[in-house]
Chain A
């Protein structure tokens, strides 16, 4: 199966390392109520809130970037796992990957719909935070599960 968007197999392991480390750091950030000051640096902000009803554009601001780095690590790690080739990449594994993607997207939106209906106020902010990562998490989870199930069902 010829695909032009898949990374080489060697991205798989680094992907898992980044993904798991990122998720652990993410849980740490959430349990600390998003408060951390490990890495306070100056960054370019294309858009940010300067007041209640005003926004400023293209400014250098000083902020803690630990949560940004963790977010990037989780997303990049997840993409590396889901979109790197398997040791033997063939049409069947390609189908499993596609099926997992469809499953993850539908499952994610069912959960989001329930959250929209039943979760309100600041708790919904948590839903938005989780929802940045659940599509890739469900995709990687489903894909890994299907591969594992195949391996354990052999003759």
Chain B
């Protein structure tokens, strides 16, 4: 799964630390998600989408063979 967290973070002018604090995770978690090393739970994905006021599908995408 891929995501556009980094893009939306830039749009909202937030650092990884800002985003981490707002959704209650560590900065390492945001970093791991942006590097596609960690697939977040549905709860965490919804929290991020809610914060960016964007549909889930705009943020997260399945890759070809998934």
Q: Which residues does chain A contribute within 8 Å of B31, judged by CB atoms?
A: 150, 153-155
Q: Range of interface residues on chain B?
A: 10 to 19
Contacts of A154 in B (CB 8 A): 27-28, 31
Residues of A within 8 A of B61 (CB): none
Pair B40/A91 contact, Cβ less than 8 Å: yes
A64 within 8 A of B: no
B41–A88 contact, CB under 8 A? no
Q: Are A91 and B44 in contact (CB under 8 A)?
A: yes
Q: Which of A90, A151, A153, A155 touches B25 (beta carbons < 8 Å)? A: A90
Task: Find out whether the CB atom of A88 lies under 8 angstroms from the CB atom of B25.
Answer: yes
A95 on the interface (CB 8 Å rule)? yes
Per the 8 Å Cβ criterion, residues 8-24 of B in contact with A are 16, 20, 24
Chain B window 43-58, contacts with chain A (Cβ cutoff 8 Å), 1 for yes, 0 for no: 1100000000000000
Give the contact-size bracket for chain A: 10 to 19
B7: interface (CB < 8 Å) = no
How does the 8 Å CB contact mask read for A139-155 relative to B, with 1 for contact and 0 for none?
00000000000110111
Which of A90, A151, A155 makes the CB contact (< 8 A) with B29? A90
CB distance from A141 to the nearest CB of B (A): 19
* Across-interface contacts of B38 in A (CB, < 8 A): 92, 95
In the complex, residue of chain B having the shortest beta-carbon distance to the beta carbon of A150: B28
Between A and B, 19 residue pairs with Cβ closer than 8 Å are A86-B26, A88-B24, A88-B25, A88-B26, A90-B25, A91-B25, A91-B40, A92-B25, A92-B28, A92-B29, A92-B40, A93-B26, A93-B28, A150-B31, A150-B32, A151-B28, A153-B31, A154-B27, A154-B31
Chain A interfacial positions (CB closer than 8 Å to B): 86-88, 90-93, 95, 150-151, 153-155
